[in-house]
Amino acid sequence: MLMHVFTVWLGGAYRVVISSYANFHKALIENNKITSKRSDVGLPGWRKEIFAVRPGIARHILWKDAKKARQQTATFLNNEGMGRTVMEPHVLNEADKFIQFFIEPRLESGEGLDTITPLSLAATNILVNTLTGNSYDYDDPKAHDHLNLIHEEHKHNVTFAASIPFTKWIPGDPFHSAEAERNYSETFKKILSNFDNIVAKRRRELQDGCSPNLMLDHMLLQYRPELGDQERFDANVGSMIQQMYAGSTASGSYLCWALLYLSVYPHMQERLHNEIDEVIGEDSVPEYSLREKLPYADAFVLETFRHSECIHVLSPRTTESELVIDGQVLPAGVELMFNLDSVYNDPDIFDNVHEFNPERFLTGDVTKKKACIEAAFGLGRRKCIAIPLGKMEVFLILLRIMQQFSVTYEGDTKPPLINMGGINSKPYPHRIVFTRRNKEIRK
């Protein structure tokens, strides 16, 4: 019998691991008022100091001074992120820029493309443009430097340095814990400094009379004197942007996985091509509102979210009062850890969990299956603020690429469909070869 709720001694504290979608829902949806708090258990001293002045988005009580900004931004994304007015043109424009810069120059030579960094840049650029009105050129060193900082933060943050301190003393540093302790502080502070500068610059522009029309403006204009110190409020906004940027790299990872799956499963690629040709055609532009008419494309994206397991755990929460989960009584003050793998592979919901099969989202209790995928973006009060944007990015960019190209993997050896681990888990190194689709065959 599987244990869905159990306790582990980790990092000098007892932590309760929650597994299965039913228990996720119980803890994070039905009891969200009890499980919204985040503790600082296991955090190094330097990070506790940062979070003392940035409680809103980090790991402190109820993030009251940033709550308004978060709510307004979530409303903005829900209204605009589903392809109605603002966000969809940004996504499609970036998809075309990606094709022009990375795919078309390789068509004649048949050179393969390592897609992970280019796709992460595309997803990040969409967010940059939405937040600030600007965007990076793909060959701009600043864009690569910024993305490398995010990847560095992910690499160091995923180690055991904070949770299992003794690992840094193991000879050879097999868990990279000592390396993380040396480098993570500097990297994280650089990232926050970058976003603080973005926020400060935009605050000055608004104060000088600039017309508010950006997502960042919606966040900054939520400040009121009764919320406390403006500098503290803006610091929390900077932290929220940092998390959104980090999330945009997950969109890049999902797109990388989607192209890999299509290269490995040509019959799925053929079915996706046929659906795109029938519903969108050769010259029309994909629209997010067409998802209902593109059931296989939607199912393929959902299965990519599930099978790739890009994100393995949610950020820990701390119970504010007693909570009963799966018959287990959890007292106040217990740190909860959420095992996302148990949701992606929940045998009560998904059959043959290790098989990549988009058709699972076309039959059975599809609503419940989709709800499991939502868990990857978080549930309850602290779910990812940019869920609508992330889902739309993956769907539209993939369709725009596959509308025009076929994909194969480079070489004779099929790439392994297992991830490398990490916060946003990527596939093992591989290269994708793009071929322009033959118009006559399509007709």
Is 384 among the annotated ligand-binding positions?
yes
* Residue in 309, 218, 274 with CA at minimum distance from that of residue 402: 274
The Cα-based distances of 29 to 4, 21, 33, 322 in angstroms read: 17, 11, 9, 16
**What is the torsion angle, in degrees rounded to the nearest 10, for the CA atoms of residue 103, residue 109, residue 112 and residue 117?**
-40
Closest CA to 194 of 230, 157, 162, 148: 148
- Contact (CB, 8 A) for 344 and 306: yes
Owner of token pair 């999902």: 254
- Cα dist. 329→42, 133, 287, 309, 347 in Å? 23, 49, 47, 29, 25
Token look-up 């990076």 returns 136
* CB contact set of 52 (below 8 Å; sequence gap of 6+): 60
Amino acid at position 308, single letter? S
Distance CA 344, CA 309 (A): 7
Q: How far apart are CA 65 and CA 334, in angstroms?
A: 25
Dist CA 437 CA 273 (whole Å): 10
**Residue 419 CA to chain centroid, in angstroms?**
15
Please answer whether residues 252 and 311 qualify as being in contact, where contact means their C-beta atoms are separated by less than 8 angstroms: no
Which residues line the annotated binding site for heme? 384
Which residues line the annotated binding site? 384
